[in-house]
Homo-oligomer: A and B are copies of this chain.
Amino acid sequence: MKEFDLIKRYFAQGGHTRKDVLLGIGDDCAVTKVPENQHLAITTDTLISGVHFLADAPARSVAYKAVAVNLSDLAAAGAEPAWISLSLSLPSYDQAWVDEFVKGLFELTEYYSVQLIGGDTVTGPLALTITAQGFVPPNTELRRSTAKPGDWIYVTGNLGDAGAGLDILQGKVEASGEDRDYLINRHYYPTPRVMAGTALRRTANACIDVSDGLVADLTHILNGSGCGATVHVDRLPVSSALFDTVGAQQAYRYALSAGDDYELVFTVNEEQRGNLETSLTNANVKATCIGQITGYAGQLDLRLYDARYELDDDAGYEHRFKHG
């Protein structure tokens, strides 16, 4: 398909360029230089039409979200993003779609000074895979397996908005006006917490990003660390848009089990708590303390105003979108 050469040209000509990219798009490989005294963090995520995004999602959102999801993984490791590679599978060529896609692709890369260094464009079902790479100083990367009993549990931003946005798009939830626009926007254009990730490097004990839902992702931390947790459902940060649209009870459910918010959940011990709050304030990141890590391995104790809270929804253990 000759048009695919055109796409390659868009990719090669657009976007941010970096001095540490010695050879970019157009050869068999890209060649880059990792700074001295930095380790390399690498992540790969695939988004498939109808599985990870709505088949009629705007092209700009498809590209934007694929970049955001990968930068979010780097953020969860405390890495500073540097380069991405994109593999795009397209069933056919549509100029308007490609224009919007390219726009969405370069929004976050421009903002975070990330360079697209290569990839592949093939004929096939609509899907895209991005591999993102970033830098992290030796022995400062954040992991999910290093939470300790007694650690405070925090989450950045608000939870549940993206899941509600998806349900609005699918006609399962009614919403109107600004709230509707806001929630849909949080689904289509999630914010990777890049600044928060690097700010947490030397203070947080464990970290993960919320892709599958708070309960599911916090459980990854608990299983990896051999710990339990108490989470105060009434303290979960929810937006006024979500609260006003679905009410408190439903808002809590979204906050606990809806995915695709790409906020960071992290733990910090009492001693580092002050330093952490200072770093986050300096980075202009909102974070909310929602509970505490316990020594009861595998036990997640949800509390609503100190009463036991039952989550009658097991969807949180799978990717929310697949159930949406």
Contact = CB atoms under 8 A, between A and B. Distances in A.
Interface of A: 22-23, 26-34, 36, 39-46, 48, 51-52, 73-74, 76-77, 79, 83, 85-87, 89, 117-120, 122-125, 127, 129, 131, 133-134, 136, 138, 141, 143-145, 207-209, 224, 322
Contacts of A73: 28-29
Contacts of A76: 28-29
Nearest to A322: B123
Contacts of A131: 42, 44, 85, 131
Nearest to A32: B40
A68 to B, nearest CB: 14
Contact of A40 (B33, B39, B41, B43): B33
Contacts of A87: 44-46, 129
Contacts of A224: 26
Contacts of A118: 42-44
A28 B125 contact: no
Contact of A29 (B46, B79, B117): B79
A284 B74 CA distance: 41
B123 A124 contact: no
A41 B22 CA distance: 10
Contact of A45 (B31, B39, B83, B120): B120
Nearest to A43: B29
A45 B124 CA distance: 13
A77 B29 contact: yes
- Report the copy number of this chain in the oligomer: 2
A87 B224 CA distance: 23
A41 B48 contact: no
A41 B51 contact: no
Contacts of A42: 29-32, 83, 85, 117-118, 131, 133
Contact of A120 (B30, B44, B122, B124): B44
A318 B123 CA distance: 12
A77 B118 CA distance: 14
B41 A29 contact: yes
B27 A143 contact: yes
Given A42-B118, A117-B42, A118-B44, A77 B129 contact: no
Chain A to chain B: the 7 pairs with minimum beta-carbon distance, closest first = A48-B124, A29-B77, A129-B129, A28-B76, A131-B131, A29-B41, A44-B85
Contact of A51 (B22, B124, B133): B124
Contacts of A143: 23, 27
Contacts of A144: 27-28
A188 to B, nearest CB: 20
A200 to B, nearest CB: 13
11 contacts: A28-B76, A28-B77, A28-B207, A29-B43, A29-B134, A31-B77, A33-B39, A44-B118, A44-B119, A44-B120, A87-B129
